[in-house]
């Protein structure tokens, strides 16, 4: 394959993103793929396979960016197009300007698009002095999603931690949880400690000198240690806080730490002669540096930050310390100094543990992700859209972003005014019904089958239960199933949460689900009156909208308590999809045919819970049979987003236990 990798940041391997990118590039080349790298690293100009773009001139900020050991790429459309135009897949490393420009080109050319999640929100907001501002971090994640991740066919998360965090904050994605892996050159070696460190206990921390890495906590901890005069700190890295950290060390430590960037071979030597690895970072997606240390058998002490995936690498309590608590860290350092035998035993355990992050296995999984992305785009070429979900009961793909206001006990469900009822009649019969009929018939080719089962109940109140696969269509559909009887729909509170539309939505028959016990009492009373008046009440028990879904999702029995309480008959209606063609051209969207079944009655010889469960089962089975029998065309394919490597799944399970 031809794989284009787009790196907004790429230079010296002094940060996790660059290390991950270079490991991936080298691995793919070794596997025989043609790898094209778009990056701003001017030192790589004229290197085979590298497409070097200009660097942003940020004026007075150039010095600050340089202190972080990086440069920021400036998009160049000509260079990007030459690197992307005939690629099999495009992979984006970070959600910044160069990747955004590459995304636009890849989507325009219909080239499979994948992306890595290597930038935590705090890594960005830290530079704006808002690292601990929840709103700022939320805006950052939403911006990342809007600019990059919503367009991607596959997304690579280096840890389950960051996958869960992003998907809970934004929405489910087609996720691949794959460790960045540790290069095979990191292994335990017998390296003699330099003579200048004889008699000293060497503690290593590898990380960029920035606020979220919390170097200051380690310096404070060593100053509080009983063995302060024996400890030699080594801070491997680069970054903007170097001067401040040096000043802090001069004030509190007997032996001044080593602050410098190490080459890979030098770092391997340092890891192997160090006595302890401390990782105080508060913000971390995976921490390759920590993985490299434990792969060499170096015992770690890690901050237990809830915003860091690294805490999951702790094997026992003495491998963790309370975040930003230098006193607790000092006590853990003292423990490992005083217990060399336990440290030796723990080192052996970490040597076995590091097999979870085998570099070759991780790179094989990354290669598989690229092949999967190509297959997904091929499916799209067959007019089939693929949507990924995590939870059949709770995921919603309606695409609305309404600030929900749940009705309480003060919400008026029953309107008694004459003018209100006249306005409701006019709006329902003379405006909404004709518009809805045109929308459903012309837009969706609606056909309704087996309406005859409703005829004996023209004067009775009854319930309709259906699958929820459309937005506007499902709002109008029950009206035409029960016509000429007026239909009311049990609705999500979103329906009455938009100012100015609440009254109109209620006039059209929406019965919003309340958010309080008092509100629930009022709703049940309103539904009982509606049922006694011989009206129809429609309920979508799946609750959440999955457009064009051809199966029936599991749903709870809660909503079946109403017909059990009122002793009313129930009917199921199942929207199914068939391919349709126009005499002039092929129509891509399918036709909807609705099949009605029933009646189903609550069992009088069962208690209330048993009766509603029995009613739910009957209707669910009926809907499943119709869905299986009559669905002929899959316009959207839904896949469970559980493409997690066996290695990482095992790792997550072990951490949970």
Contact 276, 206 (CB under 8 A): no
How high is the pLDDT of residue 115? Answer: 96
Q: What angle do CA 216, 219, 222 make, to 5 degrees?
A: 150
Confidence of residue 635 (pLDDT cuts 50, 70, 90): confident
pTM: 0.61
Q: Residue 350: enclosing H or E segment and its boundaries?
A: helix 340-353
SS3 content of the chain, % helix, strand, coil (to 5): 45, 15, 35
Mark out the alpha helices in 483-586 (DSSP H runs). 502-507, 517-532, 561-566
Reported for 106-110, long-range contacts at CB under 8 A and 24+ positions apart, including other chains, are 107/151, 109/84, 109/85, 110/377, 110/380, 110/381
For 42, phi and psi rounded to 5 degrees?
-65, -25
Nearby residues of 647 by Cβ (< 8 Å), 6 or more positions away: 179, 356, 358, 361, 362, 365
418-638: what fold? Glycerol-3-phosphate (1)-acyltransferase (3.40.1130)
State mean pLDDT over 243-253: 92
Higher pLDDT, 80 or 408: 80
Distance (Å, rounded) from C-alpha 318 to C-alpha 336?
A: 8
Residue 131's pLDDT is 84
> At 443, phi and psi to the nearest 5?
-75, -35
- DSSP per position, 392-415: TTT---S----------TT-----
Residue pair 24/7 in contact by the 8 Å Cβ criterion? no
Tell me the average pLDDT across 198-218: 93
Residue 301 pLDDT exceeds 80: yes
Instruction: Give Cβ neighbours of residue 327 (< 8 Å, ≥ 6 apart).
Output: 221, 224
Do the two domains 195-356 and 418-638 of this chain adopt the same fold? Answer: no
More confident residue, 442 or 138: 138
Interhelix angle 340-353/288-295, nearest 10 degrees: 110
Ranges 37-51, 55-69, 102-116, 354-368: which has the least confidence:
55-69
Distance CA 568, CA 534 (A): 10
d(CA 478, CA 481): 5
- Say whether pLDDT at 585 is over 60: no
* pLDDT of the residue at 387: 79
Report the C-alpha gap between 182 and 647 in whole angstroms. Answer: 14
Average pLDDT, the chain: 88
Nearest to 462, CA basis, from 336, 598, 592, 320: 598
3-state class (DSSP) for residue 654: helix
The answer to whether residue 478 scores a pLDDT higher than 60 is yes
Judge whether residue 404 has pLDDT over 70.
Answer: no
Asked whether the predicted pLDDT for residue 382 surpasses 70, the reply is no
End-to-end CA distance of the chain: 40
Give residue limits of the domains in the chain.
Answer: 2-180+362-389, 195-356, 418-638
Instruction: Please tell me the distance from the alpha carbon of residue 495 to that of residue 503, in angstroms, as a whole number.
Output: 10
In this prediction, residue 564 carries a pLDDT of: 94
CB 318, CB 48: distance < 8 Å: no
Q: Write down the pLDDT at residue 603.
A: 92
Tell the burial category of 580 from Cβ atoms under 10 Å away from its Cβ (0-12, 13-18, 19+): middle
- Provide the angle, in degrees to the nearest 10, between the axes of the packed helices 215-224 and 326-338: 60
CATH T-level fold of 2-180+362-389: Rossmann fold (3.40.50)
Pair of tokens at residue 576: 């199914």
Q: How far apart are CA 28 and CA 51, in angstroms?
A: 17
β-strands 231-236, 201-206 pairing: parallel
Both structure tokens of 145: 């999603």
- pLDDT digits over 27-49, tens only? 999 999 999 999 999 889 989 99
Predicted confidence (pLDDT) at residue 471 exceeds the cutoff of 60: yes
* pLDDT tens per residue, range 637-655: 888 765 433 434 443 344 3
CA distance 650 to 640: 19
CB atoms within 10 A of CB 175: 24
Q: Which of 3.40.50.2000, 3.40.630.10, 3.30.2290.10, 3.10.20.440 would CATH assign to domain 195-356?
A: 3.40.50.2000
């Amino acid at each position: 394959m031809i794989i284009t990798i787009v790196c907004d940041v790429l230079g010296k391997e002094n940060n996790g993103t660059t290390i991950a990118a270079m490991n991936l590039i080298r691995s793919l080349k070794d596997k025989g793929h043609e790898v094209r790298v778009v990056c701003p690293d001017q030192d790589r100009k004229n290197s085979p396979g590298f497409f070097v773009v200009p660097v942003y001139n940020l004026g007075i900020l150039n010095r600050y960016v340089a202190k972080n050991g990086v440069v920021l790429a400036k998009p160049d459309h000509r260079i990007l197009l030459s690197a992307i135009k005939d690629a099999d897949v495009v992979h984006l490393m970070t959600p910044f300007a160069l990747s955004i420009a590459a995304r636009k080109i890849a989507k325009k050319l219909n080239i499979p698009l994948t992306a890595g999640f290597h930038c935590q929100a705090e890594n960005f907001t830290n530079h704006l002095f808002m690292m601990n501002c929840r709103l700022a971090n939320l805006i950052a994640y939403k911006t990342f999603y809007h600019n990059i991740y919503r367009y991607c066919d596959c997304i690579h998360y280096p840890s389950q931690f960051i996958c869960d965090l992003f998907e809970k904050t934004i929405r489910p994605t087609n996720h691949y949880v794959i460790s960045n892996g540790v290069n095979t050159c990191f292994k335990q070696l017998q390296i003699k400690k330099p003579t200048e460190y004889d008699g000293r206990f060497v503690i290593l921390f590898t990380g960029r000198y920035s606020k979220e890495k919390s170097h200051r906590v380690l310096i404070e901890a060593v100053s509080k240690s009983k063995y302060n005069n024996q400890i030699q700190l080594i801070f491997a890295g680069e970054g903007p806080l170097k001067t401040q950290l040096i000043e802090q060390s001069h004030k509190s430590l007997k032996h001044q730490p080593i602050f410098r960037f190490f080459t890979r071979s030098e770092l391997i030597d340092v890891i192997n002669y160090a006595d302890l690895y401390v990782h105080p970072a508060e913000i971390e997606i995976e921490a390759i540096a920590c993985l490299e240390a434990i792969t060499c058998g170096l015992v770690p002490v890690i901050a237990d930050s809830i915003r860091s995936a690294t805490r999951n690498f702790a094997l026992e309590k003495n491998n963790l310390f309370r975040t930003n608590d230098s006193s607790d860290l000092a006590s853990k350092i003292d423990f490992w100094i005083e217990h060399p035998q336990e440290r030796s035993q723990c080192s052996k355990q970490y040597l076995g543990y590091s097999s979870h992050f085998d570099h070759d296995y991780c790179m094989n999984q990354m290669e598989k992700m690229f092949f999967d992305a190509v297959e997904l785009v091929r499916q799209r070429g067959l007019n089939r859209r693929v949507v990924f979900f995590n939870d059949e009961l709770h995921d919603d793909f309606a695409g609305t972003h309404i600030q929900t206001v749940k009705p309480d006990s003060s919400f008026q469900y029953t309107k008694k005014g004459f003018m209100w009822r006249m306005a409701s009649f006019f709006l329902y019969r003379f405006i909404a019904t004709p518009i809805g009929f045109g929308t459903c018939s012309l837009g969706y080719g609606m056909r309704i089958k087996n309406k005859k089962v409703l005829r004996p109940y023209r004067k009775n109140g009854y319930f309709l239960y259906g699958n929820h696969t459309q937005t506007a269509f499902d709002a109008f559909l029950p009206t035409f199933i029960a016509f000429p009887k007026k239909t009311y729909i049990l609705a999500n509170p979103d329906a009455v949460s938009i100012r100015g539309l609440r009254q109109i939505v209620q006039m059209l028959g929406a019965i919003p689900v309340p958010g309080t016990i008092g509100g629930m009492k009022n709703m049940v009373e309103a539904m009982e009156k509606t049922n006694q008046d011989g009206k129809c009440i429609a309920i979508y028990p799946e609750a959440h909208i999955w457009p064009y879904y051809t199966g029936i999702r599991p749903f709870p029995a809660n909503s079946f308590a109403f017909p059990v309480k009122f002793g009313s008959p129930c009917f199921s209606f199942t929207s199914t999809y068939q391919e349709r063609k126009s005499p002039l051209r092929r129509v891509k969207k399918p036709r909807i045919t609705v099949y009605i079944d029933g009646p189903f009655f609550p069992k009088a010889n069962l208690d209330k819970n048993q009766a509603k469960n029995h009613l739910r089962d009957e209707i669910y089975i009926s809907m499943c049979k119709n869905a299986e029998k009559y669905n002929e065309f899959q316009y959207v394919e839904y896949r469970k987003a559980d493409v997690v490597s066996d290695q990482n799944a095992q790792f997550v399970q072990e951490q949970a236990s």
